[in-house]
Amino acid sequence: MKKRELKIFVDFDGTITQQDVGDSIFSRFGDPKKVNSVIDDLLNDRISSRKCWDLLCSSTPAIKKKELDDFIDNLVIDSTFHSLVTYCKKMNIELIVLSDGFDYYIKRILNRENLMDLKFYANNLSIDENGKLIPQYPYYNPDFPTSANCKRDHILDNSSDDDYTFYIGDGNSDKESAQYCDYIFAKDGLLKFCEKERISFSPFKDFNDVIKKIDFLFSKRKLRKGHQAELKRRSAYLVE
C-alpha cells in the first residue's frame, strides 16, 4: 500500500490574502454598482462563477498595466501564512493553492512574498493591447459551476484515497471542493455553508489556528479519514 501523505489545499482570495483580490480589482477599476450586482448574483447562485468573471471583465473599462500592478502591490496577505508554509516544509506536508481568482495577481503576490515555489492552480487573466481584461478558464468543469477553476478536480488529481487531506477556505468556490477533503478549516461564507449543511469543520481566524489544530490532531493521533469525503471521492471515481 502506498505510504499515506498529508496534503493541504488552500484557497487564495480572502484566505491567504486579507481581502478578496479579484473583487477588489473590479471594484477599483470597474463600475462598483455593476460589480456589486454581479457578485450578488454569484453569491445567490443566480450565475456561475465563470459567468461572473466574464461579466466583470467585459464591463471593466481599459486598464493601464502599471496601475493594475501598483494596486495589486498594495494588497496584503495574512502574515501568518508564512508560518503555515514553514510548518508544512518542516512536517513534510504538501501545500497546494487552489484559487478561483486569477494567475495574474497570484503570481505577482507570491513573487513579492518569496513564495514562488508554491504550487497553485487558478484561472488565467491577461491584458490585451487595448487594456481590456481577458479571462480564460483552463480548468473549467461544467458539472461544477461554483468554481470556474474546478478545485474539486485538482484535489482528485493531486491526492490519493490513502492520503490525508485538509482544506482551508472562506467562500463560494470552496463549498463543493472542500467536501472532498478529510478535514475542513472554514471561515466566513464557507463556515456558514458548513453549518447550514451540517458538514463538520474547524473554524479558524488565521493560519496559527490551523497549525495549532493540526499539531493537536497529530499529537492525539486523531487524523481519521473523513467518511463523507471518502463517499464523495468514491462516487467521483465511479462516474469518471
Give the residues lining the site for Mg ion (CB under 5 A).
11, 13-14, 170-171
* DSSP state for residue 206 in the 8-state scheme: S
- Closest approach, Cβ 201 to Mg ion, in A, equals 15
* DSSP state for residue 131 in the 8-state scheme: S
**Between 9 and 240, whose beta carbon lies closer to Mg ion?**
9
**Regarding beta strands 133-136 and 119-127, do their DSSP bridges make them parallel or antiparallel, or are they unpaired?**
antiparallel
The Cα 190–Cα 168 span in angstroms is 9
Tell me the H-state helices in 92-139.
103-112
- Closest approach, Cβ 99 to Mg ion, in A, equals 8
**Between 100 and 182, whose beta carbon lies closer to Mg ion?**
100
**Between 89 and 119, whose beta carbon lies closer to Mg ion?**
119
List, as own/partner pairs, every contact residues 127-132 make where C-beta atoms lie below 8 angstroms and the sequence separation is at least 24, other chains included.
127/63, 127/65, 127/68, 130/62, 131/61, 131/62, 131/63, 131/64, 131/65, 132/57, 132/60, 132/62, 132/63
- Closest approach, Cβ 169 to Mg ion, in A, equals 6
Phi, psi of 144 (to 5 degrees): -130, 75
**Between 195 and 215, whose beta carbon lies closer to Mg ion?**
195
**Between 122 and 211, whose beta carbon lies closer to Mg ion?**
122
**Between 7 and 151, whose beta carbon lies closer to Mg ion?**
151
**Between 130 and 176, whose beta carbon lies closer to Mg ion?**
176
- Closest approach, Cβ 21 to Mg ion, in A, equals 9
The answer to whether 109 and 77 are in contact (CB under 8 A) is: yes
- Closest approach, Cβ 98 to Mg ion, in A, equals 10
Closest CA to 97 of 13, 186, 175: 13
Residue entry with cell 470552496:
174
- Closest approach, Cβ 75 to Mg ion, in A, equals 13
| Other Cβ atoms within 10 Å of 229 Cβ, number | 22
- Beta bridge partners, 121, equal 98
- Closest approach, Cβ 77 to Mg ion, in A, equals 13
